């Protein structure tokens, strides 16, 4: 995802000047000559952008409009930290890394709580999206429409599809695909798509035909500002942000508790591929298929939605996923304690990234 400086970007990027916002609000509410004259002295482009911004965010009559305007006016632009699970949001609170704002510590919008504060002295809004693609996409769109967001950091846990990854490792993928869009083919179809899942190949005890036939993996329709619609499969995270992430040196937690530690220290791995689908993968055969056909190393239910939503207006995204289990693997990998360790390690890397990108 390369940022094009000529391409229109998210409106809040151009509206970080509180003074401009205040003048427009005063001009709309009053006809005093001095205020109108001061408004005329402002550049035309910021005014047009500001008018568009106001039409895209909360209505003037919304009960929280003044609170949101104050958040955007007195803080930011923000890095948004997005996670899916309650346990992941609890990890942010318990880590002590997030310091709530003393002015407006949170804003509740559309059933979600947006927490306002800082991480490592960087202005941050963190929010729990809820699970799967729809929830993730809706939450990121609210962030981009309502708040002054300069980038998205997405963190959480993931299942491993790559035997070289162990529990507690953190993957920072460079490419993410949505692998939950299928065309289910007819039984006996003679078409041979380039990449499909043939269910008959997994018959027990031997391979053969299967009434489920096969599924062909489909591309996504990607809409972005200033460009025609594209058919895409792989989404690439922002290259500049990925380079910053690659420079991080983070010591991950090895011990689940005082009595149980992993046999090897977890590691941060950069540049792998990840997949997203509205499916919790707990099947070894499907895990092996994803790794073999697409070189997918981790599976989750939100990352692709977060990236695609932000990419449509060229807002940079970075993804940090802690390995919590081997998808469809040993049941010992699925304990809550190991999941908590994966979440803790992913958050540690995300926090260090926020500190680095904040500079």
- Average of pLDDT values for 302-318? 95
Does the pLDDT of residue 34 top 70, yes or no?
A: no
pLDDT at 339: 86
pLDDT given at position 125: 97
pLDDT tens for each residue of 337-347? 788 899 999 99
What are the residue ranges spanned by the domains of the chain? 63-181+218-358
Q: Residue 275: pLDDT above 50?
A: yes
pLDDT above 50: residue 75 = yes
Name the packing angle between helices 18-29 and 65-74 (round to 10°).
Answer: 150
C-alpha angle 249-255-256 in degrees, rounded to nearest 5:
120
Q: Return the pLDDT at 328.
A: 73
**pTM recorded for the entire structure:** 0.79
pLDDT value at residue 194: 61
**pLDDT at position 330, please?**
63
Q: Assess whether pLDDT exceeds 90 at residue 82.
A: yes
Instruction: Tell me the mean pLDDT in the region 28-32.
Output: 38
pLDDT value of position 4: 44
How many CB atoms lie under 10 A from the CB of residue 6? Answer: 5
**Contact (CB, 8 A) for 264 and 166:** yes
Q: Please give the average per-residue pLDDT across 95-107, as a whole number.
A: 94
* Pairing of the two strands 106-109 and 214-217: unpaired
Q: Kindly tell me if the per-residue pLDDT of 2 is higher than 50.
A: no
Fold (CATH) for 63-181+218-358: Rossmann fold (3.40.50)
Q: Output the average pLDDT for the chain.
A: 82
What DSSP string runs through 152-219?
EEEEEEEEE--TT--TT-EEE-SEEEE---EEEPPTT-----SSEEEGGGG-SSS----TT-EEEEPP
* Helix/strand number for the chain, H first, E second: 10, 18
Q: What is the pLDDT of residues 129-167, one digit of tens each?
A: 989 999 999 999 999 999 999 999 999 999 999 989 999
pLDDT for residue 38 is more than 90? no
Strand (E) or helix (H) holding 317:
strand 317-326
Q: Is 330 helix (H, G, I), strand (E, B) or coil?
A: coil
Asked whether the bond before 77 is cis by omega within 30 degrees of 0, the reply is: yes
| Exposed e or buried b per residue across 62-77, where buried means at least 16 C-beta atoms within 10 angstroms of its C-beta | eeeeebbbebbbebbb
In angstroms, rounded to a whole number, what is the distance separating the alpha carbons of residues 236 and 239? 8
pLDDT digits (tens, 9 = 90+) for 201-247: 888 888 888 888 888 889 998 988 889 999 999 999 999 999 999 99
Please give the DSSP secondary-structure letter assigned to residue 237.
Answer: P
pLDDT over 90 at 326, yes or no: no
Q: Which of 59, 72, 73 is nearest to 114 (CA)?
A: 72
The two tokens of residue 216 are 């062909």
Tokens linked to 292: 């073999």
Residue 296, judged by CB atoms within 10 A of its CB (0-12, 13-18, 19+), counts as buried
Kindly write down the DSSP assignment for every residue of 114-161, as one continuous string: EEEEEETTEEEEEEE--SHHHHHHHHHHHHHHHS-EEEEEEEEEEEE-
pLDDT at 214: 85
């Amino acid at each position: 995802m390369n940022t094009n400086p000529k391409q229109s970007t998210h409106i809040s990027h151009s509206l970080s000047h509180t003074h401009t916002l205040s003048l427009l609000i005063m001009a709309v509410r009053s006809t005093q000559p001095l205020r109108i004259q001061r408004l005329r002295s402002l550049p035309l482009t910021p005014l047009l952008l500001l008018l568009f911004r106001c039409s895209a965010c909360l209505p003037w009559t919304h009960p929280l409009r003044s609170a949101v305007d104050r958040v955007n006016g007195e803080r930011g632009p923000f890095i948004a930290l997005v996670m899916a699970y309650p346990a992941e949001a609890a990890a942010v609170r318990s880590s002590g890394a997030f310091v709530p704002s003393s002015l407006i510590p949170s804003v509740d919008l559309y059933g979600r709580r947006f927490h306002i504060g800082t991480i490592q002295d960087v202005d941050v809004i963190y929010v729990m999206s809820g699970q799967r693609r729809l929830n993730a996409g809706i939450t990121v769109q609210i962030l981009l429409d309502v708040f002054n967001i300069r980038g998205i950091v997405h963190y959480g846990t993931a299942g491993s599809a790559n035997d070289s990854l162990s529990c507690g490792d953190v993957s920072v993928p460079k490419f993410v695909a949505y692998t939950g869009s299928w065309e289910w083919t007819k039984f006996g179809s003679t078409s041979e798509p380039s990449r499909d899942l043939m269910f008959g190949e997994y018959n027990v005890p031997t391979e053969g035909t299967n009434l489920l036939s096969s599924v062909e993996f489909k591309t996504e329709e990607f809409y972005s500002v200033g460009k025609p619609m594209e058919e895409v499969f792989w989404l690439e995270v922002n290259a500049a942000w990925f380079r910053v992430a690659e420079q991080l040196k983070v010591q991950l937690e090895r011990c689940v508790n005082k009595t149980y530690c992993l046999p090897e220290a977890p590691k941060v791995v950069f540049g792998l591929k990840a997949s997203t689908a509205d499916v919790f993968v707990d099947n070894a055969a499907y895990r092996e298929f994803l790794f073999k056909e697409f070189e997918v190393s981790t599976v989750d239910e939100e990352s692709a939605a977060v990236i695609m939503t932000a990419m449509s207006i060229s807002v940079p995204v970075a993804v940090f996923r802690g390995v919590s289990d081997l998808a469809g693997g040993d049941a010992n990998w699925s304990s809550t304690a190991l999941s908590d360790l994966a979440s803790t390690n992913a958050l540690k890397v995300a926090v260090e990234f926020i500190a680095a990108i904040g500079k």
